[in-house]
Structure 1
C-alpha cells in the first residue's frame, strides 16, 4: 500500500512537471540574473515581492487543502447567471475611426478598451474562455460572445497589465494581440511571461510602484496594490502586482487591479487625485482571503479614499472565482456607495462609457 501511494505521488509530480515545462500558458520564470535588477525595489526582499503590510500569510498545506475543498465542493446559490448576460456588439470600424473624447468599454471582469487622446489602450485584456492554464482546469466565462473578438480589434497602441494571474494575463489573448500592440506596460517581472510568448523585449516596459512614464501625450503611473502573484506552484510572488493611474492634461483614471483594502488608496488619492473615474475591484472575495480582495463595502470606501468622482465596480460579471453569488458584489457595493454619497455606474458589457458624461449617468439594474 505504501509503495502504491508513493508511486502514485511520484507520477502526479512528474506529470505536473512535464505539463508546466511543455505547456506555454504557464509563462516564463524570473532568473537569478533578472532578480539582481529588482533588488533596488522597496517591494523586493529575499527573492520575492512583498506587500507593504505583511500579507497574505502563506497557508499551510492543510489550509490550502481546506480552501480547495470548499471552493470545488461548496454549492453556491446563484453562483452563475441563469442565462447569458446582455452584451452589446462593437464594430471594429467604430473603434478604428473614433475621434471623440475619452471613452471606455468593458469586456467583463477587469478587461477594458480605453480610447483616450487618439490612443487605443487595453487594460488587463483577459479575453479567453477560462481563467486557468488549460480549459479543463477552470470554469468558463458567463458569456460565450464578447463585444468584439480579438481578431477584429484594430491597432492597439498600448496594453496595461496589473499582475500575472490567469484572470488578468491570458496566454491565448496575448498571442493573438502581440503583433498589433505597440507597447506593453507591466509591473516588475511580468515581462518574463510576455517574452516567453514571443513579445519583443523592446515592446515591454516593466515598472515599479510610483514609477511613471509618458506615452504619446498620456502618463501611465504604476501604483501600489495589496495582492500577490504567481502562475504555478513554485513561482509565487516572483513578479510584482500593481494598480495604474492613467492621465492626460485634463482627465485622470484609476484602475485598481486586484487589491485588498489598505491605506494605499488614500496615498494614491493624495498623490494623484481627485480622479474622474475609478475602476474598482469588487468580486471574488471571501473571509478566507480578506487581505487580497476587497469586500464590496470596502470597494465603495476605497473610491472615497481615492477622491473619485465616479467609480465602476469591476472583477465581476464574467467568472465564478469565489463562493458568493454572482450578483452579490454589485448589490452590496451600490448600497454602500449610496450610503457614502459615492457616485457609481455599472454599464452592461460592451457599452461605451464616455468620461465627459459620467456624472449624469445612472444605471438600471440589468443584473
Structure 2
C-alpha cells in the first residue's frame, strides 16, 4: 500500500511539474489583463464567451467517456495509407514573388499568403503532433512541407485564430519569431507568444470587430463560435476568432475554428463579398457540432459570408475526430454543388491564386 501511494504521489508531482513548467503550455492571463478584458463584450465572469451559450461544460464522467470513445474507436480510413506528399516550392520563387495575391497551403489550417508584396502566415502550425508533447498525439499526415520552414523569407505578419495546439504551436513559433515583423492575435493569445520570447512591441491583440490597418491591408478580427485553452485550468482565458484580410484588390475570409451560427451572415453583410473564403471543414462530430461545423454547414457558411468560392480547411493534417480523413472534402463538395457555390481543393503546396475564377484542381486525395 505504501509503495502504491508513493508511486501515485510521484506521478502526481511529475504531472503538476509538467503542466506548470513545460513551455509548450504557454502563458497565463494576469489580473491586470483581466481588468482590460472586462471591457470586451465577450468577457464575463473571468472567461471569454460565445454569443450563444456554447460549448456545454462537460462533467468529469462525460469528459472521461468522450476521451475513452475517442482513443478506443477504430476509424477505417482514418488516416491516409501513406504520408501525403506536398508539391514543392522553390524558396527563391517565394522570396522574389511580385505577382497577384496567392496562397500556399501547408495542410490543416496553415497558409502562407503573399499579398500586396507582403508575406503573411496564417495559423502556422508546423509541428509533428497537435499536442503539448510529441508523445501525447498522433503524427500529422505530411512529414514534409512545400518549403522547409527555415527557408521561408522574412515574414511581415503572422495571424493566429486561437490557442489550440493544432493552430498555435510552441516549436513553430520558436522557428519563425525572429524572422517575423509582427503578430496579430485575438485577445489573450499574445500571452503565449510573450512567454515564448516574442517582444510585446511585436504583438497586437484584437477583439471581435476591431480593425487594424497594416500597410495597404485591412485586418479585421471577426467572430467565431469556438473555445480556447492549452491547459486543464485555463479554458476560455483567451479569445478565438475568424479573420478578414482586405487589400485594395482582394478580399479574403479565414474562418478559424467555428460551429455554424449567425456570425457568418453578419460578417458577409459587413465585409463581403469575398474572393476566397477558407472555411473550416474537418474534425467534426455531432457530439461537438456547436464548436466545429459539419461539412454541409461549411458549404452553407460559404453562402452566408458571400464567398465567390470556398476552400475547405482543417482537414488533411491531423486525425482529431472519428470520421474518415476524406469524409470532409467529399461531403462539402456534394453540398456545395447543391447550393451552387464553387469549391477549390488544392493539393498541399499547390499555388492558389486568390482571384482565379478557374478551378483547375483535381481530386488528389482519391486512393490515398
Using the size of structure 2 for normalisation, the TM-score is: 0.97
Q: Which residue of 2 aligns with 1:279?
A: 278
SS at match of 1:101: coil
- 1:319 is matched with 318
Query: What value does the CA root-mean-square deviation take over the aligned residues?
Result: 1.2
| Structure-2 residue corresponding to 1:57 | 56
**Alignment match, 2:296:** 297
- Mapping of 1:136-151 within 5 angstroms? 136-151=135-150
When structure 1 is superposed on structure 2, of 112-121 and 9-18 the one drifting more is 9-18
Q: Equivalent residue of 2:35, what SS?
A: helix
Q: Does 1:366 align with 2:327?
A: no
What are the superposed Cα offsets for residues 202-244 of structure 1, whole Å, 9 maximum, x if unpaired? 0000000000000011000000000000001000000000000
Q: What is the TM-score of this pair, normalised by structure 1?
A: 0.97
The equivalent residue for 2:117 is: 118
The 2-side partners of 1:201 and 1:69 are apart by: 40
**Matching residue of 1:261:** 260
CA distance in 1, matches of 2:287, 2:178: 40
Displacement of 1:6 in angstroms is 5.8
Alignment match, 2:231? 232
Q: What CA distance in whole angstroms lies between the structure 2 residues aligned with 1:10 and 1:20? A: 15
> Shift of residue 82 of structure 1?
0.3
In the alignment, is residue 18 of structure 1 matched against residue 28 of structure 2? no
Contact 2:250–2:355 (CA under 8 A) maintained in structure 1 = no
Displacement after TM superposition at 1:356 (Å):
2.8
The secondary structure found in structure 1 opposite 2:211 is strand
Deviations 1:52-92 (A, max 9, x none): 00100110100000110011110000000002223111111
Partner of 1:164 in structure 2? 163
For residue 220 of structure 1, what is the aligned residue in structure 2? 219
2 CA distance for matches of 1:7 and 1:49? 39
SS of match in other structure, 1:179: helix
Cα offset, 1:5, TM superposition: 6.9
Q: What is the rounded CA distance, in whole Å, between the counterparts of 1:27 and 1:171 in structure 2?
A: 8
Question: Which residue in the other structure is 2:327 paired with?
Answer: 328
Alignment match, 2:182: 183
Aligned positions, number: 365
The one-character-per-residue Cα deviations of 1:319-358 (angstroms, maximum 9, x if unpaired) are 100000000000100000000001010000000101231x
Shift of 1:20: 1.8
Superposed counterparts of 1:324-363, under 5 Å: 324-357=323-356, 359-363=357-361
**Could you give the per-residue CA deviations for residues 242-290 of structure 1, whole angstroms, max 9, x where no partner exists?**
0000001221100000000000000000000011100000000011111
2:154 maps to what in 1?
155
**How far apart, in 1, do the equivalents of 2:361 and 2:3 lie?**
59
Structure 1 gap segments, 5+ residues each: none
Distance 2:253 2:5 in 1: 50
